[in-house]
Structures are given as structure tokens and as C-alpha cells.
Structure 1
């Protein structure tokens, strides 16, 4: 069984990312940024649960932890799905184009593969966006000694969303299905509406807790 790209050491993954190979690339990096954001939220929850000082928040932290771990698993898998989507698209471009039938088959395969290559980063952006609502309760009621980690999670989740949507955009420009493109652009607009304002609000919340006595 072939080893998954994500089942390597951090150093090996970064070496692969830096190499001339097309995968892993920006889509996978975006997903891993999101996975790290989710992991940091989980970490702060784990540093809160079981501490007498934060006993009143324990049930809430357990609920957040369950959600953050679900998102971490999803985003980790999306990093691998991004590689698979690129490989499928690359294979479609290599299909023969000798006859008219070949050309039609190749064209359709490319369009289907482009949709798959669009869906993966779009799912990444959705999952990363779902991390942001987990940040306020952890910043406000989680272990104060780790509140800076919540701030890092906010920044990584934000980066994951914006980075994933860049990968959506590059695929949309070569898709020939106007209805699909319009639907995706509408979702992109929903995902980014108020995003910068929300990140600023979360930053301010983290800073307020950092400076609290």
C-alpha cells in the first residue's frame, strides 16, 4: 500500500513541498494550516479540561474538543485529497487526442477533474471557516496560559481559508460550466463575507484575555 503524502515527517513533507514536484502544493498546505489551527484549539481544550480552576468550563471545552478533533481529521484528509485531485487532473490532460472521439473524451475528463480539484479546496475553506466559531469560548474560558495559542489558531484558520480559495479560483478560470462556476463563486462570497472583521474581532478578544490580570 502506497504511503500517503501526509504520513511522512514534517521535514520530509516540507522537502516535498519545496521540490519541483507538483504535489504536495498550495492546496495541501492550506489544508494542513487548517488542521494545525484545529489542533491548537484541541490543545487549549486539553490544557483546560481537568483543571480545577476551569471546572465550570469543562463541559463546554469537551464539546469544543469533539468538534475541533473532527475538523482536524477532515482537514488532514483534505491535504491528501488535494494530491489525489491533482493527480486525477494531470491524468486527464495526458489522455490521447488523436481522434475527434478522443478529444471529446479528454475534454470531458478534464472538466470533471477540474470540478473535483475545485471541490477539495472549497471543502478545505468550509472546514477552516468552521474553526473560527470555536475560538471565542476557548479564548474566553479556556486555560489563560494558552490563550496565545488560540490567537495562532485564528491566524492559521484565516490563512487556510484564503489560501484554499486561491486554489478554487485558479480552477474556476478553466471550467466551462457557467452555472457551476456561478454557484462556487456565490459560496466563496459567503465564506469571505465579514471574514476580515471576524478575524479582527477574535484577535481583539485574544489580546484582551492576554492582558487580563
Structure 2
């Protein structure tokens, strides 16, 4: 599939995903899932803003909307960025290795590309994780008729973050730079710390408001 996934129909992305090509893969799916979570948050904000029943919350809803839209744009860009990073890694593996110099250059290129292919999903996971704090206040004070969509957003975050971090995990196994690997593992651990509990809190609020 040529060009950016964002410029193609969804059916084209899904067909590429199901094809025998290694890209797009799990990283792009994580980015799309995170972008959808941010989109759901934005939607509920838009359904809340301008409604008399939620006038006291409108200022905060507008702030949440701006943050959600920023995360949505960031995560949407990662759909293609993840594929690009993987393609760069594959290109490094195809470099010539007929001499000692070429072998050394190829090894260095592979290490650099592997680190890049680790940094992209790590940043992606952080962007997806940043959507979750937007869900709590929106679940509590946003439009009650759309509160289930806030829960859906929280569940999407819970899927997107560990999905992205699987790409981090598999790439770290091939990285020689111990300090880089240690930092990446610490960042990944911080991103999942408390994730399930915070999602559960959002869902409890959502269900309480659904119950009335």
C-alpha cells in the first residue's frame, strides 16, 4: 500500500493489515486504537458543549476537547510512523555485508533503526496513555447520553497502551545499548502502572451514571 494510511480509505488499511505484508502491524493498530479513543473523548466533549444542563462544566469540556484533539492528531500520525520505522529497520537489514567495513556499518544501522523502532511505539503508548486522564472528568460531568462512549474510550486506551508496548518489548531484545534498554523498560513500566485501576474507575463512574 503506497502513500500515507491517513490518506487512504479505511478499507484499504484493513486490506493491507490482513495481507501478507509485515506492515501495517500491531503498532499501527495500537495507534489507530488510541486515536479512536481520543476521537470518542472529543465527540463527548462536543456533545456536552453548548448544552444548558452542562453549562457549569463547559469551560473544562472545552479544555478537554483541545487536549483530546491534540492527542488524536498525534496518534493518527503514529499509524504511518510505526510502519515507516519498521521499513527503515528492514532497509538496514538489507545493507551489504561483503566486507568488515560494510558489516560494521550494517550493524550500526540496524542498531540505530531498532532504537528508532522502539522509540516510536514508546511515544505512541505515552500519547495513548495521556487520553485516559481526560476520561474521568468527562465521565462524571459530561453528557450523560454519551457517557458510554467515555467508557469505550477508556477501554480503547487500555488496549492501545500495552499493544504499543509489545513492539517496544520485542525490539529491546535486539538492542545492545544497555542504558537505552533500561530507560525504555522503565518508561514502559511507568505507562502501565495503575492503568487497569484507572480504567476501572472510569468504568465505575460510567456505569453509575448509566444507572442514574
Shorter-normalised TM range? over 0.9
1:3 Cα shift? 2.5
Match for residue 45 of structure 2?
A: 45
Match for residue 33 of structure 2?
A: 33
TM-score, structure 2 normalization: 0.98
1:55-70 correspondence to structure 2 within 5 Å: 55-70=55-70
TM-score, structure 1 normalization: 0.97
Separation in 2, partners of 1:89, 1:176: 15
Residue 24 of structure 2 is aligned to residue 21 of structure 1: no
1:199 Cα shift? 1.4
Residue 136 of structure 2 is aligned to residue 136 of structure 1: yes
Match for residue 124 of structure 1?
A: 124
Separation in 2, partners of 1:81, 1:23: 11
Runs of 4+ in 1 over 3 A off after TM superposition: none
1:81 Cα shift? 0.6
Number of aligned residue pairs:
211
Match for residue 110 of structure 1?
A: 110
Separation in 1, partners of 2:66, 2:104: 47
1:188 Cα shift? 1.1
1:6 Cα shift? 2.4
For each residue in 1:136-190, what CA deviation from the matched residue of structure 2 results, as whole angstroms up to 9, or x when unmatched? 1111111100000000000101100010000100100011111110111111111
Separation in 2, partners of 1:168, 1:3: 25
Separation in 2, partners of 1:197, 1:126: 17
> Which is further off, 5-14 or 71-80?
5-14
Q: Which runs of 5+ in 1 are unaligned?
A: none
For each residue in 1:22-69, what CA deviation from the matched residue of structure 2 results, as whole angstroms up to 9, or x when unmatched? 111110000000000000000000001111111111111000000000
Q: Which runs of 5+ in 2 are unaligned?
A: none
Separation in 1, partners of 2:38, 2:95: 39
